[in-house]
Structure 1
Amino acid sequence: MAENGTLPAGQAAGTAALLRLVRDGRPRTRAELVAETGMGRSAIAERVDTLLGSGLLTQTDNAPSTGGRPPSTFVFNAAARVVLAADIGATHAKTAITDLSGTVLADEDLVLEVAAGPEAVLKQVSEHGESLLTRVGRAQGDLLGIGIGLPGPVEHASGKPTNPPIMPGWDGFDVPGYVQELLNSPVLVDNDVNLMALGEHRTQWHERQHMIFVKIATGIGSGLIADGRLHRGSQGAAGDMGHVQLPHEADVPCRCGNTGCLEAVASGAALAARLTELGMEARSSADVVALARNGSVTTLKLVRQAGRHIGEVLATAVSFFNPSVIVIGGALSQAGEHLIAGIREVVYQRSLPLATQDLRIVQSRAGERAGVYGAAAMVVEHAFAPAHLPRYLMTPDAETADTAARASA
């Protein structure tokens, strides 16, 4: 077992590889682990013992017997730790406690204003996280980590928001440091659409290696999955399609300071403003969705045209990135088939047949939980990477004692 969270690099990499294999939940014997990993029996024995000691692996005796005592099997223990996941939006947040497989054990929707500032919002989210921990019978020491999605650009390496347009007071704020002080657990932060893309991919499309997730709500953004991994770009700004300019809408002002942005024309906020101009009561994406579902012809025409505008930008993305699936999520995606029909109409018309012959354009399957699924996956995948795994190869009690000892040294 790791001592004080240390482990030789080669052993850490081998243990991480073994853990990655067993995380599919299928019980395996030692012989199967040897065959599937290519590691020697002694290496497997050592790494199995390490994972058993940490609680990340459990032993069962349910393998079929070929005569005599049945061989022991080993299976990933998804209940060994839990994750606090939070998906923070402009006017709401969803918090959840998940196990290590991403299964939601409890969740809660909060009404909040991100414009109230980071300390007020993060304190509220942290308090509700503690409440959810209590609800599922777990303590802070059981947390593997905390994942947070924010509705604006985030420098992923530091977890700090960077000039977020709808988040006054958040620019450069040390989100991980503040939340870790409150809950005494590692914190990772990313843009909310990146996490929605990750959550959608891990829970619904894991067999597809190249995917675009588009969130259409108050604003518009996208997350990219490339070779099965989240692609953030060099500064974490990849996927900011909402501020791509539509040349034929060049005179429409956008909140970013430019004009003609996709978001200024096709977002839920833009459609609500247009409906208000036409004498219909609509203040949010939810109001637009309600009008569309009630059969408002004017609303449905606007939604269809918004889909076409979004399709213009996505057609270019399809030519450059060549995804096999485009997933449409966010509040406005609930407006019905008209939005996706508009997107498909333009993408299939303007992209080359080779790029679209196997392309699917679909509504989100993960729905409103996509963000918390992604936040949980981000935490688990970070923790179980070879560079970080050693600190989690102690039992929660041992890790708490080790942390206290280092703090008092």
Structure 2
Amino acid sequence: MCFTSKVRIAPSSQPIAPSTGAGELLQLLRDQTPRTRAELAKLTGLARSTVGARVDALLASGLLAPSGEAASTGGRPPVRFAFNPEARVVVGADLGATHGRIALTDLAGRPLCELGEDVAITDGPGTVLDWVTSTTSRMLDMTGRTTHDLIGVGIGVPGPVEHSSGRPKRPPIMPGWDNYDVPAHVGRVFDVPVLVDNDVNIMALGEHAVAHPDVEHLLFVKVATGIGAGIISGGRLHRGAVGAAGDLGHVAAPHAPEVLCSCGNLGCLEAVASGPAIMRALAEIGISASSNADIVDLVRGGNIPAAHAVRQAGRTIGEVLATCVSLLNPSVIVIGGSLAQAGESLIAGVREVVYGRSLPLATSDLQIVAATTGVQAGVIGAATMVIQHALAADRVDLAIAAQSAS
């Protein structure tokens, strides 16, 4: 992160500077509620001189800005301060099998500009990531921002990722991407942190940030060409030991036929309940659908066999999710992905099985709902991933220390 044109946030591998305390104060102020120095001293229990020094450091960084005056109790009215989300910008990129979408957001994750194009992940990392960097440069120009305003780039890809390194790991539909150094490629153009995760995780982050910010335990399920889940536990994204948490599509579906899956196993959930599986089921009864969008159009158009096929896919997914409910005890399950646009058919099937097979204690307050962020889920989630990293207390302290030393 840079707070001036000369200051950049250090990569994660570099040592963190001793705490100045300003980063911790910023966490309190990120709710964007304006507060005076006296109010901050009362909330934190710190001396007013300490609070004043930290406020001054955050003002100098641009992350804090004056926000009106409090009522006077005699003398000059005290100034209130609030988090300034417009201080810098973030890039969130959502790369799918056949699409790319990029948003430039502020530090609250609000999109300032969005662009989407048909981009084939099979074109390889060089072509696709060059599109990401060139589109980012174009969006910075469109919004009057510069590379000095950019604090990081977040990228979601349709395959497994080792989050700590940003390298895809044996992604089945991404030829040429295995172990590719995505952060290094993008970092040649933008000298900022580049974070990479799989597309379902970033969609979970986006839906959580926008629609369910106060929910501590949430399961986001993407149903499209593939099936996967993003797990929010204790308010934080759970990636697992090697980033493989939530790989729901390759769980064996109970009572399902032994259809060969792309992973080589038989009867995986993805093989029997994803978009391609529904297309095969419809083809067997003489109904043509060559894409997920075709399935959605058929259901919305009142095609009863298509609606039944989608609902059955929901039931099959629900059989796996019933186990997840017992294991994870989420309070909200969000169903997203392109097939979630097929009205209530998919979600009704999921609800039917989950509510019927899970224990009442786990389902008494469980909500199973459709995603609300639509195509923005991925880009907002990718930006949120970067914001959480860059505005962590220790990273803010490091940037302020670097600025003070310059």
Short-chain TM bin:
over 0.9
Paired position in structure 1 for 2:43? 36
More helix per residue: 1 or 2? 1
Q: 5+ unaligned residues in a row in structure 2: which ranges? A: 10-14
Could you report, residue by residue, the CA deviation over 1:116-167 in whole angstroms, capped at 9, with x for unpaired residues?
A: 1111111112211111111111011110100000111000000000010110
**Shift, 1:344, TM fit:** 0.3
With over 3 angstroms needed to count, the CA separation of the structure-2 counterparts of 1:30 and 1:7, relative to structure 1, is: farther
Tell me the equivalent position of 1:9.
Answer: 18
CA contact (8 A) 2:19 2:394 kept: no
Tell me the SS of whatever aligns to 1:361.
strand
Letter of the 1:182 counterpart = V
* 1:6-29 Cα shifts (integer Å, max 9, x gaps): 985232xx2222111111111100
Alpha carbons 1:91, 1:113 under 8 Å: kept:
yes
The answer to whether the 8 A contact 2:254-2:319 is kept is no
- The more displaced of 162-171 and 39-48 is 39-48
Give the match for residue 371 of structure 1.
378
**Paired residues of 2:23 and 2:397 also in contact (CA < 8 A):** no
Aligned counterpart for 2:221 among listed residues 214, 226, 229: 214
CA distance in 2, matches of 1:237, 1:51: 37
Aligned to 1:248, the other structure's residue is in SS state coil
Provide the residue aligned with 1:194 in structure 2: 201
Q: What is the match of residue 57 of structure 1?
A: 64
Asked if residue 147 in structure 1 is aligned to residue 154 in structure 2, the reply is yes
| 2:12 alignment counterpart | none
Query: TM-score by structure 1 length?
Result: 0.93
Over 3 Å counting, the alpha-carbon distance change for 1:65 and 1:387 in structure 2 is closer
Letter of the 1:37 partner, please give it. T
Q: What is residue 163 of structure 1 aligned with on the other side?
A: 170
Report what 1:275 is aligned to.
282
Q: 2:222 is matched by which residue type in structure 1?
A: K
1:119 matches 2:126: yes
Higher RCO (CA 8 Å, separation ≥ 6 residues):
2
Q: Mean Cα displacement is larger for which, 281-290 or 139-148?
A: 281-290
Aligned partner of 2:95 among 74, 81, 88: 88
- Aligned mates of 2:361, 2:383 — CA distance in 1: 35
CA distance in 2, matches of 1:52, 1:10: 17
Equivalent residue letter for 2:19: G
Amino acid at match of 1:197: A
Per mean C-alpha deviation after superposition, the further-off stretch among 2-11 and 20-29 is 2-11
Aligned match of 1:310: 317
Are 1:383 and 1:392, in contact at CA under 8 Å, matched by a contact in 2? no
Write the deviation string for residues 25-51 of structure 1: whole angstroms up to 9, x where unpaired.
Answer: 111000111122222222211111111
1:98 equivalenced with 2:105 (yes/no) = yes
Which amino acid in the other structure matches residue 9 of structure 1?
A: P
One-letter code aligned to 2:183? P
Q: 2:84 aligns with which of 71, 77, 85?
A: 77
In structure 2, what is the Cα distance between the partners aligned to 1:349 and 1:255?
A: 30
1:178 has 2:185 as partner = yes
Q: Which residue of 2 aligns with 1:405?
A: none
The one-letter amino acid paired with 1:103 is R
Secondary structure at 1:70 match in 2:
coil
Structure 2 CA distance for aligned equivalents of residues 7 and 302 of structure 1: 54
Residues 251-260 or 36-45, more deviating: 36-45
Task: Spell out the pairing of 1:329-368 with structure 2 (5 A cutoff).
Answer: 329-368=336-375
Is residue 136 from structure 1 mapped to residue 143 from structure 2 by the alignment? yes
Aligned to 1:407: none
Tell me what 1:293 maps to: 300
User: Hey, what's the Cα distance between the residues in 2 that align with 1:83 and 1:181?
Assistant: 17
- CA drift of 1:382 comes to 0.5
Amino acid at match of 2:80: T
Aligned residues: 397
CA contact (8 A) 2:220 2:231 kept: yes
Q: Is the 8 A contact 1:211 1:323 kept in 2?
A: yes
Offset at 1:394? Answer: 7.5
- Aligned equivalents of 1:349 and 1:60: distance in 2? 52
Percent identity for Structure 1 against Structure 2? 55
Is the partner of 2:394 in helix, strand or coil?
A: coil
Q: How does 1:244-283 map to 2 (within 5 A)?
A: 244-283=251-290
| Residue matched to 1:236 | 243
Consecutive unaligned residues of structure 1, counting only runs of 5 or more, are 403-409
- Name the SS of the counterpart of 1:9 in structure 2: coil
Contact map agreement 2:292 2:339 (CA 8 A) in 1: yes
Aligned residues: CA RMSD: 2.0
- What TM-score, normalized to structure 2? 0.94
